[in-house]
Structure 1
Amino acid sequence: MVFGEILRAVAALFEGLLRLLGMASVDSITIGPNSLRVFIKYAGRTISTDLDPRWEIRKVKEMIAPKLGVSPEEIKIIFAGNELPDSFVLETSDVGQQSYLHAVRVRLQLKVPEPNENEVSVANANSMVEQKQQDEQAENLVVQSCTRTFVTTGPEMNLSVTNTSFEKTLEEAQASDNPPVPVNTRSDFFVYCSTCDDLKEGKLRVRCAQCLSGAFTVSRHPQGWDDVLNPKQIEGTCEDEACDCQYAGFYFKCASHVTAGEDDSSPPLQQVKRNEDSVPCLACGDAKDISFVFTCENAHSTCVDCFKQYALTKINQRDYVQDSVIGYTLGCPALCENSLLRDPHHFKLMGKQQYNRYQRFATEECLIQMGGIFCPQPDCGMGIIPEDVNCNKIACLHGCEYVFCRRCLEGWHIGECRQEGTVPDPCTSSGPSSTGYYVSADRAAQAQWGDATRRAMRLSTKPCPNCRVPTERAGGCMHMECTKCKFQWCWVCQTSWNRECMGNHWFG
Structure 2
Amino acid sequence: MIVFVRFNSSHGFPVEVGSDSSILQLKEAVAQRQGVPADQLRVIFAGRELSNDLTLQNCDLAQQSIVHIVESPQKNSQDKEKTEYSCVGGVPKALKREPESLTRIDLSTSILPSVSAGLAVILDPGKNSVSLPSEKSGAASYNSFYVFCKNFCQAVKPGKLRVRCSVCKQGTLTLARGPSCWDDVLIPNRIGGVCQSQGCNGNVAEFYFKCGAHPTTDSETSVALNLVTTNSRCITCITCTDIRSPVLVFQCVHRHVICLDCFHLYCVTMLNDRQFIHDPELGYSLSCVEIFTWLWFLADTASLVHSLFQHFPSSVTAVQAGCPDSLIKELHHFRILGEEQYNRYQHYGAEECVLQMGGVLCPTPGCGAGLLPEPDLRRIVCEPGNGIGCGSVFCRECKEEFHEGECNSLLSPPGAMAQKGYVVDEHAAMQARWEEASRETIKKTTKPCPNCNIPVEKNGGCMHMKCPHPQCRFEWCWNCGLEWNRTCMGDHWFE
TM-score for the superposition, normalised by structure 2: 0.62
Cα 1:110–1:91 change in 2 (3 A) is: same
1:338 and 2:295 aligned:
no
What SS does structure 2 have at the residue aligned with 1:201? strand
Indicate the larger mover: 376-385 or 273-282: 376-385
What are the superposed Cα offsets for residues 1-34 of structure 1, whole Å, 9 maximum, x if unpaired? xxxxxxxxxxxxxxxxxxxxxxxxxxxxxxxxxx
Counterpart amino acid of residue 326 in structure 1: L
Match among 150, 153, 161 for residue 204 of structure 1: 161
Within 1, Cα distance between the matches of 2:199 and 2:58?
33
Partners of 1:305 and 1:65 in 2: CA distance: 51
Q: How far apart are 1:351 and its partner, in Å?
A: 1.2
* In structure 2, C-alpha distance between the alignment counterparts of 1:43 and 1:352, rounded to whole Å: 37
Residue matched to 1:36: 2
Task: Provide, for residues 150-201 of structure 1, a one-character-per-residue CA deviation record: whole Å limited to 9, x for no partner.
Answer: 899xxxxxxxxx89559xxxxxxxxxxxxxxxxx575122223343344332
In structure 2, C-alpha distance between the alignment counterparts of 1:233 and 1:415, rounded to whole Å:
62
Identity across the alignment (%): 31
Query: Quick check: 1:92 aligned with 2:48?
Result: no
Long gaps (5+) in structure 2 = 79-93, 111-134, 292-321, 418-432, 459-466, 471-495
* Corresponding residue number in structure 1 for 2:209: 252
Q: Give the unaligned 5+ runs of structure 1.
A: 1-34, 113-133, 153-161, 167-183, 441-508
How far is 1:363 from its partner?
1.2
Aligned CA distance change for structure 1 residues 311 and 431 (closer, same or farther; 3 Å): farther
1:224 aligned residue: 181
> Residues 392 and 201 from structure 1, CA distance in 2 versus in 1: closer, same or farther, beyond 3 angstroms?
same
For residue 18 of structure 2, the aligned residue among 41, 52, 58 is 52
Give the direction of change, closer, same or farther, for the CA distance of 1:283–1:344 in structure 2 (3 Å limit). Answer: same
Alignment-mate amino acid for residue 65 of structure 1: A
Matches within 5 A, 1:319-334: 319-333=275-289, 334=291
Match for residue 77 of structure 1 among 13, 24, 43: 43
Q: Specify the SS of the correspondent of 1:45.
A: coil
Distance 1:380 1:82 in 2: 56
Corresponding position: 1:264 with 2:224 = no
**Alignment partner, residue 131 of structure 1:** none
Q: Residue 434 of structure 1 aligns to a residue in which SS?
A: strand
Separation in structure 1 between the aligned mates of residue 391 and residue 245 of structure 2, nearest angstrom: 56
Distance (Å, rounded) in 2 between the aligned partners of 1:215 and 1:431: 62
User: Residue deviations 1:53-91, cap 9 Å, x none?
Assistant: 111111101001122232112221111111111122111
Give the 3 Å change call, closer, same or farther, for CA 374–53 of structure 1 in structure 2.
Answer: same
Matched, 1:364 2:364: no
Whichever residue aligns with residue 344 of structure 1, its letter is L
Match of residue 247, structure 2, among 282, 287, 291: 291
Matched letter for residue 329 of structure 1 = S
Offset at 1:403?
4.0
Measured against aligned partners, the alpha-carbon deviations of 1:76-134 in whole angstroms (never above 9, x if no partner) come to: 1111111111122111123222221111121226999xxxxxxxxxxxxxxxxxxxxx9
- Pick which of 54-63 and 293-302 moved more: 293-302
Instruction: From the superposition, tell whether residues 364 and 89 of structure 1 become closer, same or farther in structure 2 (CA, over 3 Å).
Output: same
CA offset at residue 326 of structure 1? 2.1
Q: Which residue of 1 aligns with 2:423?
A: none
Counterpart of 1:63?
29
Q: What residue is the counterpart of 2:395 in the other structure?
A: 407
- Output the amino acid matched with 2:247: S
The alpha-carbon deviation at position 410 of structure 1 amounts to: 7.5
How far the C-alpha of 1:388 sits from its partner, in A, is 5.4
Structure number with greater Rg is: 1
- CA distance change for structure 1 residues 389 and 431 in 2, over 3 Å: closer, same or farther? same
Task: Give the 3-state SS of the residue equivalent to 2:28 in structure 1.
Answer: helix
| Deviates further, 402-411 or 84-93 | 402-411
Label 1:278 to 1:388 Cα distance change in 2 as closer, same or farther (>3 A).
closer
